[in-house]
Amino acid sequence: MYLVRRIQSVLRLFVVFISIVFAIVFFNSRPRHNQLVLVRDIDLEELSDNQDLNKYAGEKIVYNVRMGSVTLGKSVFKRLPPVELDGKMANLMSFETRLAKFSDKEKIHSAAGTFLPLKIEREVSNWPFLEKISEHYDQDKFTLTIIKNKGKSSEQRVIRKDGPIHNSIILPFMLRDIPELAVGWSMTANLPNQRFEIKLSSLATLKLPSGEFKAYHFKSNPPKFEIWVSSDERRIPLKIKGAGPLGYTLVMKEYSIEK
C-alpha cells in the first residue's frame, strides 16, 4: 500500500510539472491585459479549413514509469481526431497510466486554437477501489468544477482563479507554437492550487530507448522537477525526473504517428 501511495504521488508530481512547462508557453505567446488572457471561442465555420486540427491526429507516445532502475509500468498518450463539443470543434486526446493494481484513464477535450481544457473524464482504479472524476472548465469565468464519484458517495468542488486554468496532460502541446526558446527563459506558472517558477536551463543531448534527441532542459524553482523536451518542431516531452530520495523518472519508450 505504501508503494502504491508513492507511485500515485509520483504521477501527480509529473502532471504538475507538465502544467508548468505549458503555462510558460501559453502566457508568453499571447497578448496580455491586466495579466489575464481571455479565451476566444472558435466556431465550426471558422475551423472548417483549419488543417492544424488534424496535424497530430494519430500521435502516440509511450513512457516507461521508473523508480530508480526498476520499471513499474507505463503511461500512454494518444492524440485523437478532433470532435464537436457544445457546437464547436475541440481537440481530443487520451492519457492512460497502468501500474501494479493501479490505473488512471483520462479522456481530455480542449479548445481549438488555445488548447485550454474544456472537459475531462477520468477513471482511477486503485484496487479494489474505483473512482470516476469529471472536470468542467469555464474559461470565461476562470472556474473549474470537479465532480468525484466513489462507490455511492459523490463530492463536488469549485476552483476559482484569476486567469485561464490549464490541464497538466495537454499543456506541452503549446510549445509547438514557439519557434525558438532561449536558455535562461523563465516564468511563474499560475496553477489551480499553487505557483511554480520554471526555467529553461540548458540544451542537452539525450539517449533514450527510443533514440537520441536534442532537447530543451527545464528545471523548476523550488527544485522539485526536471524535464527534457525535444528541440525539434514536434517538441515532444522526452523525460521527466523528480528530485528527492525516490528519484522517479518517466522516459519515452516509443513515439509514432499514424495518418
Sequential DSSP letters for 68-127: TTEEEEEEEEEEEEEEEETTEEEEEEEEEEEETTEEEEEEEEEETTT--EEEEEEEEEET
Residue 18 three-state SS? helix
Cα separation of 176 and 166, whole Å? Answer: 16
pLDDT at 37: 32
218, 201 Cβ separation under 8 angstroms: yes
Strands 59-67 and 248-257: antiparallel
Q: What spatial distance separates the first Cα and last Cα of the chain, rounded to whole Å?
A: 42
Cα separation of 210 and 123, whole Å? Answer: 29
Domain carrying residue 94: 2-257
What are the cell numbers at 235? 517538441
- How many domains in the chain? 1
pLDDT at 247: 65
7, 126 Cβ separation under 8 angstroms: no
pLDDT in tens, the chain (259 residues): 444 455 555 455 444 444 434 333 333 333 333 333 333 333 333 333 344 677 788 999 999 999 888 999 999 999 999 999 999 999 999 999 999 889 999 999 999 877 888 999 999 999 889 999 999 999 899 999 999 999 889 999 999 988 888 777 776 666 676 677 899 987 766 677 777 787 899 999 999 988 999 999 988 888 878 889 999 888 899 998 875 556 678 899 999 998 6
Q: What are phi and psi of 180, to 5 degrees?
A: -145, 145
